[in-house]
């Protein structure tokens, strides 16, 4: 038997319903914040990610699905979508549009990571990007959008972690100070961090393998920010407070992509265990320039939909998702059953008609197997009286109603 590739999975059954419901909430909420959709291609030139995400990041070093195509070009299945949106901005001259340009996207991404709960090789991201405005108000707005989406989806135990990682002016100095402070601990570092010590020492701060006490004793970036970054960060925090978004400042948050400047943030959920970042993002004021455009500040975040679905399932929100109505009938009432199913479906009720027939007892058994909330029984008497029996499958109670009253009755029951 041919199976799915390691780290890839079919999304079916209740997962699809969680997935689509989440998609609806994310679309609606971002549209309300003035975002418009963009659908970038899955394949991009490898150079795009090398130049944006960064050559020394885990993603580019170890995790990209890269191949040479028949035209001898190096192609990569996108590991994330910010780089594609930035490329599109430059390629299609979005700088001619009124700033800021606000875009959202939804699609699959690919990373060759070790598969585990919440971590796949093919996964889906929903994300937003705001391009062409450096105001800290937008940092707060983007974080508040991320928070609102998570809140609307009913996720419990939410935490917003924020930090500022400085800019081209102040970060190099902090990098040196940090490297110096890390020197005495070099031998204790994990193999990845020994490499990061030279390539990107800031990443050592959020490595889960390193001792917390050691990290606590290191210099904090917040003490090394230049005036511009420091004022920007203070304003972001002030606006978040005005927007009533609870947050925690965490000086070890640095994030694993090279393009970030100033604000970085994550929304975490206690229901995700080790892979607890539901979403992550930040500001990237030099990315567009690095891809050949004019100086254009930008920021955004992306959320992993598989992780979201896992949280929602743990919270067992199933009952809010599907409410099936099952129709049981006899041969002589088939026409009526079809009419009633039609009416219910036209009014948005998920309606299943029994297809095997037989006694009402058998049909009720099948209804139970489908987890229906109500079974509508239409027999000889009901046909003669133009009524139906509504059987509440959980309460095991039954009520006869006139067909004309059926919709009102079901709506009243919130089916
Ligand atoms: P990221 O933190 O690499 O950021 O990914 C964002 C989210 O994608 C993560 O928080 C997680 O939910 C999900 N994710 C990442 N890798 C996997 C995986 N292997 N399996 C399942 N889910 C995963 C970015 O991708 C940036 N482009 C975010 C951004 C947008 N920054 C600014 N704008």
Q: What is the Å distance from ligand 1's center to 272 Cα?
A: 14
Q: Residue 10: its pLDDT value, please?
A: 97
DSSP 307-319: HHHHHHHHTT-GG
Q: Residue 321: its pLDDT value, please?
A: 54
CA-proximal residue: ligand 1, atom 25 (nearest): 80
Q: What is the DSSP letter of 176?
A: H
Maximum pairwise Cα distance, the chain? 90
210 by DSSP, 3-state: which?
coil
Pairing verdict, β 248-249 and 158-164: parallel
Q: What size, in residues, is the chain?
A: 415
d(CA 298, CA 174): 23
Q: Is the C-beta atom of 54 inside 6 A of ligand 1?
A: no
Peptide bond into 100 cis (omega under 30): yes
Residues near 320 by beta carbon (within 8 Å), at least 6 away in sequence: none
CA angle (294 as vertex; 290, 297 as ends), nearest 5: 75
Q: Residue 275: its pLDDT value, please?
A: 64
In our burial notation (b when 16+ CB lie closer than 10 A, e otherwise), range 193-231 reads beebbeebbbbbbbbeebeeeebeebeebbebbbeebbe
CA-proximal residue: ligand 1, atom 1 (nearest): 280
H or E element, residue 128: strand 122-131
Q: Is the C-beta atom of 293 inside 6 A of ligand 1?
A: no
CA-proximal residue: ligand 1, atom 20 (nearest): 119
Q: What is the pLDDT of residues 73-83, one digit of tens each?
A: 999 999 999 99
In the predicted model, residues of the chain with pLDDT beneath 70 are 273-275, 316-322, 414-415
Q: Is the C-beta atom of 302 inside 6 A of ligand 1?
A: yes
Q: Is the C-beta atom of 104 inside 6 A of ligand 1?
A: no
Q: Residue 92: its pLDDT value, please?
A: 98
CA-proximal residue: ligand 1, atom 21 (nearest): 119
Q: Is the C-beta atom of 278 inside 6 A of ligand 1?
A: yes
d(CA 294, CA 343): 57
CA angle (104 as vertex; 74, 109 as ends), nearest 5: 35
Q: Is the C-beta atom of 113 inside 6 A of ligand 1?
A: yes
Q: What is the Å distance from ligand 1's center to 1 Cα?
A: 32
Nearest Cα to Cα of residue 178 among 198, 202, 210: 202
pTM: 0.84
User: In a 10 Å sphere around its CB, with 0-12 CB exposed, 13-18 middle and 19+ buried, how is residue 320 labelled?
Assistant: exposed
Q: What is the pLDDT of residues 227-275, one digit of tens each?
A: 999 999 999 999 999 999 999 999 999 998 999 999 999 999 877 766 6
Q: Is the C-beta atom of 82 inside 6 A of ligand 1?
A: yes
Q: Is the C-beta atom of 280 inside 6 A of ligand 1?
A: yes
Is there a contact between 385 and 333 (Cβ–Cβ < 8 Å)? no
Residues near 32 by beta carbon (within 8 Å), at least 6 away in sequence: none
3-state SS record for 4-58: CCCCCCCCCCHHHHHHHHHHHHHHHHHHHCCCEECCCCCEEEHHHHHHHCCCCCH
80 by DSSP, 3-state: which?
coil
């Amino acid at each position: 038997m041919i199976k799915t590739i390691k780290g890839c999975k079919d999304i079916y059954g209740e997962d699809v319903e969680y997935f689509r419901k989440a998609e609806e909430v994310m679309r609606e909420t971002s549209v309300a914040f003035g975002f418009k959709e963009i659908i970038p291609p899955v394949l991009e030139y490898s150079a795009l990610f090398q130049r944006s995400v960064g050559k020394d990041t885990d993603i580019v070093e170890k995790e990209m699905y890269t191949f040479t195509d028949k035209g001898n070009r190096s192609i990569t299945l996108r590991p994330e979508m910010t780089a594609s949106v930035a490329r599109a901005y430059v390629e299609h001259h979005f700088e001619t549009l009124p700033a800021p340009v606000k875009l959202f996207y939804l699609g699959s991404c690919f990373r060759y990571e070790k598969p585990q709960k919440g971590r796949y090789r093919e996964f889906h991201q929903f994300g937003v990007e705001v391009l062409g405005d450096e105001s800290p108000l937008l940092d707060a707005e983007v974080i508040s959008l991320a928070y609102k989406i998570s809140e609307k989806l009913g996720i419990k135990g939410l935490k917003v972690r924020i930090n500022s990682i400085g800019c081209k002016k102040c970060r190099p100095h902090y990098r040196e100070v940090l490297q110096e402070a890390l020197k005495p601990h070099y031998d204790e570092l994990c193999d990845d961090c020994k490499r990061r010590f030279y390539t990107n020492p800031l990443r050592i701060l959020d490595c889960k393998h390193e001792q917390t006490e050691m990290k606590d004793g290191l210099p904090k970036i917040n003490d090394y920010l230049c005036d511009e970054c420091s004022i920007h960060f203070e304003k972001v925090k002030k606006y978040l407070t005005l927007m009533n978004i609870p947050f925690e400042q965490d000086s070890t948050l640095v994030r694993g992509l090279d393009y970030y400047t100033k604000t970085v943030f994550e929304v975490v959920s206690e229901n995700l265990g080790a892979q607890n970042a539901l979403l992550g993002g930040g500001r990237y004021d030099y990315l567009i320039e690095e891809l050949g455009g004019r100086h254009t500040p930008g920021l955004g975040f992306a959320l992993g939909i598989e992780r979201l679905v896992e949280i929602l399932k743990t919270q067992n929100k199933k009952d809010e998702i599907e409410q099936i109505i099952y129709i049981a009938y006899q041969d002589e009432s088939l026409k009526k059953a079809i009419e009633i199913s039609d009416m219910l479906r036209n009014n948005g009720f998920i309606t299943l008609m029994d297809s095997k027939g037989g006694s009402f007892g058998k049909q009720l058994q099948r209804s139970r197997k489908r987890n229906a909330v109500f079974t509508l029984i239409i027999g000889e008497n009901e046909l003669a009286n133009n009524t139906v029996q509504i059987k509440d499958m959980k309460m095991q109670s039954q009520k006869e109603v006139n067909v004309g009253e059926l919709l009102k009755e079901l709506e009243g029951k919130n089916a």
